[in-house]
Structure 1
Amino acid sequence: MSMNESSRGRWSDELLEPFRSMGEPLADAAIQSVFASNEVEAVNRILQSLQSNVQVVPAEMPDAVETFLNQTDDWPEWADPEKVRLGQRLFARYGMQMTLAYFTWSLPCCYSWEKAAKVLTWTGGIDKHVHRRIIETAQFVLDVMAEGGLEPKGFGVRTAQKIRLLHGTIRYHVGRDPKWRASEWGTPANQEDHVATLLTLALVPSVLTRLGLDFTRDEEEAYFHCWRVVGHFLGIHPTLLPRDLDDAHQLWAAIQARQVRPSQDGVVLTRALVDYLKMRMPGELMDGVTVTVMRELCSEAVSDAVGLEKTDWTRFLVGPMRWMFSLADEAQDQSGFAAKVSASLSRKLLEGLHSSETGGGRVTFRIPQSLQESWKLEPAAVAEAK
């Protein structure tokens, strides 16, 4: 989709710019109350449980956080339960390939936004923090897209609420750093960056058509609707939540035109991501495939902004890969050759993630039972990390 004005629909700079200085009132109020009451350790326990997510509601939480969790776990009145279930069923069917797209399209796109990338590198310790964020993102996606994940008290709802609190904590700390130039970069973890990140997850089906998969319009719309509900739980401003799939693509075009710029932060983040994926996908051949798939899925502007390498030999892979992916053009299930290849890559990645160790401590990565069954994961691959 071109980045001209017509592709942006109603999403003008005048409409979007105010959202760069906007946080999220409920989460911000809860976090401010916690810090004012010196209950920081309790919040740290809540945020640390993002990885394990064993306790649905952490015990001994501050009153302000308990109030927040109770205020923000209701479905919006516009939500369509049948569309949500269809979107989740689509993930159960194609989740392996979608997971691959999250790591090779969604995250590089996030890193290509110059201003948003600054927040992700602000606290230093790039490798440690990026790897942890990769795991948290994967866990979040699995939690909200698993069967029942968005039902009352579902894992997905709780994970979204925790991420909302995490963003409030980032705004509290980074926003108070005198070196943070809010007038130039906006509020840390602001509303525009939030909805942009949501779209990198909600628009994955249209990206996967480049890997030879095929989706009906109803399937794409249901998948988007599912993520629109997730956006509600994440506290995205109602004005910013696209009305439908076409509106979402127009908002995506507008944000890409506004935010994609080359930056050293984006380069560093993407290098850490590529290194992580190489580490999780065994074999030297996979090293080249990882970057090649990124180049195939991401726009030229995104690839250049994050400094994706162009190696001599990987360019020879692109032609054969496109031919291979095209073999599955008419396959709407996992019987296509390209679908099987991407599922295999994703399986290796999930198996590696499940037993990841970050910063010296093991991170528990929980694949919901319904998805284990749908994806026919080997028991050894999803055994609990000891």
Structure 2
Amino acid sequence: MTYTTASMNALRTSGDELADATVATLFERGQVGTFNTLMRYVSTAGAPLPDGLPDVAREYLHATGAPPAWVDWGEMEKARLFFIDNNVHISTALSFAAMPACYLVPHVARLLATTHALDYPSKRMAETGQFTVHLMQPGAFEAGSAFIPAAQKVRLLHASIRHHLARDDRWDTDSLGVPICQEDLIGGQMFFSLLVLDSLHRLNIHMSAEGAQAYLYAWRVVGAMLGVDQSQVPTDMASARQFLDLYMLRHMGPSEDGARLTRQLTSLYEEIVPGTFFDPLVSALIRHLIGDTCADWLDVARTPWDTAVKAVPHLLGALESIEDRSPFAAWALDRLGHLTTVFELSSLTRGRVMHYAIPEHLKKDYGISATVPRTRRWTPPPPAAVPN
């Protein structure tokens, strides 16, 4: 698939018809509070829906309660094994590259600032981490899993933000398109997939071409569960690179909201890192992964660690080489990575299960016009040509 400025503009005109209609009906009937209360008890796929759930919500949950029929389960298993092999590195890339990248899109940063929860970045990071961990569990799409209900709720959360902004006439649709439009949904999917892979490459993590492709595929499945139009989604590395590059060129830039959200994020990470000596490493790692221009746009501080952090890829590369040669080392490092990811997530959640809910109002001050074999070592696709 080839993307152009015109095709990308077309993606800004649509949201998610099913979720939007469901949320509109819940608000129209005054059933949002009831829905949120009852949905706290819906946390696993296949569980009986609670009595008293609004009919429109029940219909939505039935319609979205299964993965797409086209899923290749062999590819999904490759993605799960890739995650097991690289979980701590993926968590690092999500935290220090993908999340700041979201803040580099001014209209996305401003939109994220509309929800009260974004005053507490640990909640969003915990939700993102928990969502990814749920996705990569062996039975993520089977009865008893937590992933499908989480995806259903995130989809409604997006629809509720669109509903509020349209109802209150607080979004310039003519110039910005629909809030959380299809272009932004696919852009987010690229941030959490291809940009994560780019970051792993930058960290000198050894990845197989098969594993990287499977990870990209897994996020296509996620996108489908989140209401992304699959006819417009990149299906291979080359088209993913073209979309991501064009999306970044079209939208990325400095903004006060992006800088503020980044300050909240770095402060959160510094709280998790023991002591204060290593605090500057947080900013240095973000700057290393997203580059100086983007880091300056987000007001990421320059520190003496900016030079030292460049040694991290060499260290990780050495560990990866050991892992490649020794099955025991591979097992030990994978286990250490798992424990590190669990520690990070438990620190963010404070041991709690994160619940998604439809916000009943937005901020008042919002105003905008088996390990996959390491064969065929993966390298990022080259930059895409800029279309006319």
TM-score (norm 2): 0.81
Q: CA deviation at 1:321?
A: 2.6
The answer to whether the aligner puts 1:67 opposite 2:44 as a matched pair is: no
Whose relative contact order is higher, 1 or 2, with alpha carbons under 8 Å and at least 6 apart?
2
Alpha-carbon spacing, 1:97–1:32, altered in 2? closer, same or farther (3 Å): same
For residue 191 of structure 1, the aligned residue among 161, 182, 186 is 182
* C-alpha distance in structure 1 between counterparts of 2:143 and 2:33, whole Å: 27
- Following TM superposition, the consecutive aligned residue runs of length 4 or more in structure 1 with deviations greater than 6 angstroms are 52-55, 336-345
For residue 353 of structure 1, the aligned residue among 341, 348, 357 is 348
Alpha-carbon spacing, 1:183–1:47, altered in 2? closer, same or farther (3 Å): farther
The answer to whether the aligner puts 1:151 opposite 2:142 as a matched pair is: yes
Q: Is the 8 A contact 1:109 1:298 kept in 2?
A: yes
The answer to whether the aligner puts 1:169 opposite 2:169 as a matched pair is: no
Return 108-117 or 191-200, whichever deviates more: 191-200
Gaps of at least 5 residues in structure 2 are: 356-370, 372-388
Q: Is the 8 A contact 1:84 1:226 kept in 2?
A: yes
Q: CA deviation at 1:159?
A: 1.0
Q: Deviations over 1:222-256 (max 9, x none)?
A: 11111111111111012321122221122111111
The answer to whether the aligner puts 1:28 opposite 2:20 as a matched pair is: yes
**Which residue of the partner structure matches residue 88 of structure 1?**
80
For residue 108 of structure 2, the aligned residue among 110, 116, 119 is 116
* C-alpha distance in structure 1 between counterparts of 2:44 and 2:269, whole Å: 24
* C-alpha distance in structure 1 between counterparts of 2:339 and 2:275, whole Å: 13
Written as runs of structure 1 = structure 2, the 5 A alignment for 1:368-379 is: none
Return 97-106 or 68-77, whichever deviates more: 68-77
**Which residue of the partner structure matches residue 296 of structure 1?**
288
Q: CA deviation at 1:87?
A: 0.3
* C-alpha distance in structure 2 between counterparts of 1:181 and 1:332, whole Å: 52
* C-alpha distance in structure 2 between counterparts of 1:121 and 1:206, whole Å: 27
Q: Report the identity percentage.
A: 26
Q: CA deviation at 1:315?
A: 2.2
Alpha-carbon spacing, 1:252–1:340, altered in 2? closer, same or farther (3 Å): farther
For residue 265 of structure 1, the aligned residue among 225, 246, 257 is 257
The answer to whether the aligner puts 1:219 opposite 2:211 as a matched pair is: yes
Alpha-carbon spacing, 1:92–1:324, altered in 2? closer, same or farther (3 Å): closer
Gaps of at least 5 residues in structure 1 are: 1-8, 357-362, 367-373, 375-386
Q: CA deviation at 1:152?
A: 5.5
Q: Deviations over 1:33-76 (max 9, x none)?
A: 111111111232366679x7699565232111111111123333
Q: CA deviation at 1:277?
A: 1.0
The answer to whether the aligner puts 1:38 opposite 2:11 as a matched pair is: no
**Which residue of the partner structure matches residue 310 of structure 1?**
302
**Which residue of the partner structure matches residue 364 of structure 1?**
353
Q: Which AA in structure 1 matches 2:133?
A: L
What RMSD, in angstroms, separates the aligned Cα atoms of the two structures? Answer: 2.9
**Which residue of the partner structure matches residue 363 of structure 2?**
none
* C-alpha distance in structure 2 between counterparts of 1:214 and 1:84, whole Å: 20
Alpha-carbon spacing, 1:296–1:340, altered in 2? closer, same or farther (3 Å): farther
Q: How many residues align?
A: 350
